[in-house]
Amino acid sequence: MTQYQTIVAGDPVSRTGAIKLYGPEGFEGMRRAGRLAAEILDALGPHIVPGATTEEIDRIVYDMTIAGGAVPATLGYRGYTHSCCISVNHVVCHGIPGPKTIRDGDIVNVDVTPLLDGWHGDSNRTYLAGNVALKAKKLVEVTYECMMLGIEAARPGNRLGDIGHAIQSHAEKFRYGVVRDFCGHGVGRLFHDAPEVVHVGRPGTGPELKPGMFFTIEPMINIGRPDVKVLDDGWTAVTRDRSLSAQFEHSIGITETGAEIFTKSPAGLDLPHAAS
Ligand code: MF3
Ligand code: CO
Ligand code: CO
């Protein structure tokens, strides 16, 4: 049976396994952390070009996070030593920034999580570097649609399975593979909390969504099979068949009537290349 736990301002938080229900101060905190995440991702667009290295992008994320009064939640997280994850082409997630150069035609996901005044704003976008093949662009667009369809299904009375179903049914129309090995998660005062938000599912199944639940929706969609493997560095997850993989992530909060997107771009750049 699903357990819920109401969090009042100042309550200590820990991973209890229960789903936390936050109040107005939670929404306030997540709006600020989420806005900073979105501003960082907005600013990255012009830097994600052929010739740039992923460690240069990581440095920009670090500087902007600190300038915004936050710290990168990934820095020191389970031994991770960077300010973001950068996942290029067949890398599904958790790509480690380094001297690697971005090339013309790459699809590049950057995932940031500023921790601001105790709140985690977790968001990622997939950018197009230079001239990207139509097939790859299509994958990126459909992956964004999958995330947004998942968010549309996020409202009180619906269940987590409704979100997974919305995502899976859209992706599979295009014969894409939905990654099973990584999922969305509760977010808020903790970086990764209950519940697990799986990106596949059956309607009407899973925990019921209630106002005050905060979680991410972050589908990873592959042109090929859903299967992934983690490289010897212990982090980098790649598609087993080396097919391209795209991802988008928002942090959201369930309201009385639907969901509030905490990490929405103030500049309308949520799908980077779609904006003017
Ligand atoms: N930001 C990722 C997520 O969406 C988690 C990255 S953890 C790291 O949940 F250690 F790999 F950075
Ligand atoms: Co996340
Ligand atoms: Co993330």
Q: 245 in ligand 1 pocket by Cβ < 6 Å?
A: no
Structural contact between residues 266 and 39, judged by C-beta atoms closer than 8 angstroms: yes
* Gap between the Cα atoms of 255 and 87, Å rounded: 32
Give how far Cα 212 sits from Cα of 7, 129, 259, Å.
Answer: 9, 37, 10
Nearest CA owner, ligand 1 atom 4: 122
Q: 111 in ligand 1 pocket by Cβ < 6 Å?
A: yes
Q: 191 in ligand 1 pocket by Cβ < 6 Å?
A: no
Domains, the chain? 4-266 (3.90.230.10)
Question: What is the model's pTM?
Answer: 0.98
Cα 81 to chain center, whole Å? Answer: 19
Helix (H, G, I), strand (E, B) or coil at 52: coil
Q: How many residues does the chain have?
A: 276
Nearest ligand to residue 80 Cα: 1
> Which residues are 72's β-sheet partners?
114
Q: 87 in ligand 1 pocket by Cβ < 6 Å?
A: no
Distinct helix (H) and strand (E) counts, the chain: 4, 19
Nearest CA owner, ligand 1 atom 12: 74
Place of tokens 């977010």: 187
Per-residue pLDDT of the chain (276 residues; tens, 9 = 90+): 899 999 998 888 999 999 999 999 999 999 999 999 999 999 999 999 999 999 999 999 999 999 999 999 999 999 999 999 999 999 999 999 999 999 999 999 999 999 999 999 999 999 999 999 999 999 999 999 999 999 999 999 999 999 999 999 999 999 999 999 999 999 999 999 999 999 999 999 999 999 999 999 999 999 999 999 999 999 999 999 999 999 999 999 999 999 999 999 999 999 998 644
Q: 58 in ligand 1 pocket by Cβ < 6 Å?
A: no
